[in-house]
């Protein structure tokens, strides 16, 4: 499903050069739930952003499904990302002055979907994460776990084939973290969604199919 070949990423500023990813090749199967671990600064977020087409590698190729993404230009990349990928972040990234339902509808605004269908799909996504009773709330009126569930609803509303999650339980206590993990595990099991998750938590990583460990930009396991 996702094929990375000899990926390198160098960050250059006028004074320093950082080799953030140092030759990683990785094949992630359709329906796999993969976690990425490693010490701070080892390149986890960079790798996830490269897989998520948010950041361009300095070298190497990326194939997602049967599409070679290397060399896709901005507009095509944005469309591909919007249709195929869903993103979840540690700090939720919700828009605080939009109600929950409107937040969840956002990814559909770029698609050819009627207002009515958009509402319906967003309501269904919220039902999936158990938040049907919070559609008219604002994010600031919700707990951290509930906010992350809104973010998951937003990530899945467009029915992406792949979900990329950067420390999705990082700001949550273990009970809420486990709830979020259960939702992700169900999405993976029931809908066959491929999930790639960065985590610091061995316990959460242990619930996934496979663990990749990074050190200094290289894969060590
Ligand atoms: P899927 O998308 O379900 O993984 P594919 O038919 O796309 O199945 O790929 C089958 C195998 O071919 C992959 O496991 C991968 O190792 C290999 N492969 C083919 N082309 C590439 C490529 N450009 N980069 C990395 N691996 C590749
Ligand atoms: P992790 O997610 O594992 O903490 P990152 O992927 O964020 O690691 O960072 C990997 C390395 O790349 C670090 O050394 C970091 O300082 C460097 N880095 C990350 N982003 C940038 C950037 N925009 N400019 C320069 N260096 C960066």
- Provide the 8-state DSSP code for 50: H
Return the higher-pLDDT residue of 73 and 201.
201
pLDDT on residue 220: 96
What would the 3-class secondary structure string for 75-143 be? HHHHHHHHHHEEEEECCCCCCCCCCHHHHHHHHHHHCCCCHHHHHHHHHHHHHHCCCHHHCCCCHHHCC
User: Is the CB of residue 188 less than 8 Å from the CB of residue 167?
Assistant: no
* CA-based nearest residue to 64, from 152, 153, 194, 185: 194
pLDDT on residue 67: 85
pLDDT on residue 182: 96
Q: Is the CB of 23 under 6 A from ligand 1?
A: no
* Pocket probe mutation, ligand 1, options 1, 3, 7, 61, max atoms within 8 Å of Cβ: 3
- What are the tens digits of pLDDT across the range 45-99? 999 999 999 999 999 999 998 888 887 888 899 999 999 999 999 999 999 999 9
Nearest atom in ligand 2 to the alpha carbon of residue 198 is: 2
Lowest pLDDT segment from 4-13, 64-73, 137-146, 187-196: 64-73
Domain boundaries, the chain: 31-56+72-219
* % of residues, the chain, pLDDT over 70: 100
pLDDT on residue 116: 97
* CA-based nearest residue to 127, from 156, 99, 91: 156
pLDDT on residue 23: 97
Helices 174-191 & 144-156 angle (0-180, nearest 10): 20
- Provide the 8-state DSSP code for 188: H
Gap from CA of 18 to ligand 2 centroid (Å): 8
The CA distance from 86 to 153, in Å, is 10
Predicted-assembly ipTM surpassing the 0.90 threshold: no
Residue nearest to atom 6 of ligand 2 (CA): 43
25 alpha carbon, closest ligand: 1
161 alpha carbon, closest ligand: 1
The CA distance from 46 to 24, in Å, is 12
pLDDT on residue 111: 87
- State the CB neighbour count (10 A cutoff) for residue 73: 7
Mean of pLDDT over the chain: 95
Which residues, at least 6 apart from 44, have a Cβ–Cβ distance to it below 8 Å? 36, 37, 38, 166, 198, 214
pTM of full prediction above 0.90: no
31-56+72-219 CATH choice from 3.20.20.140, 3.40.50.10140, 3.40.50.1820, 3.40.50.300: 3.40.50.300
Which residues, at least 6 apart from 3, have a Cβ–Cβ distance to it below 8 Å? 26, 27, 28, 61, 62, 63, 64
């Amino acid at each position: 499903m996702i094929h990375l070949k000899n990926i390198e990423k160098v960050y250059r500023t006028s004074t320093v050069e950082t080799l953030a990813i140092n030759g990683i090749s990785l094949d992630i199967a359709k329906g796999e739930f993969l976690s990425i671990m490693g010490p701070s600064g080892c390149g986890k977020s960079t790798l996830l952003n490269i897989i998520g087409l948010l950041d361009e590698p300095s070298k190497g190729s990326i194939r997602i499904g049967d599409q070679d993404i290397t060399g896709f230009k901005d507009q095509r990349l944005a469309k591909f990302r919007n249709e195929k990928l869903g993103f979840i972040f540690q700090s939720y990234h919700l828009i605080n002055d939009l109600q929950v339902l409107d937040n969840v509808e956002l990814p559909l605004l770029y698609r050819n979907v009627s207002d009515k269908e958009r509402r319906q799909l967003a309501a269904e996504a919220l039902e999936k994460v158990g938040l049907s009773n919070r559609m008219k709330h604002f994010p600031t009126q919700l707990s951290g776990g509930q906010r992350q569930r809104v973010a998951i609803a937003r990530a899945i509303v467009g029915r992406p084939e792949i979900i990329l999650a950067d420390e999705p339980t990082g700001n949550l206590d273990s009970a809420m973290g486990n709830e979020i993990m259960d939702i992700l595990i169900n999405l993976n099991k029931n809908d066959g969604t491929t999930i790639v998750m960065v985590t610091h938590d061995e316990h959460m990583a242990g619930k996934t199919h496979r663990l990749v460990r990074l050190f200094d930009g290289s894969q060590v396991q």
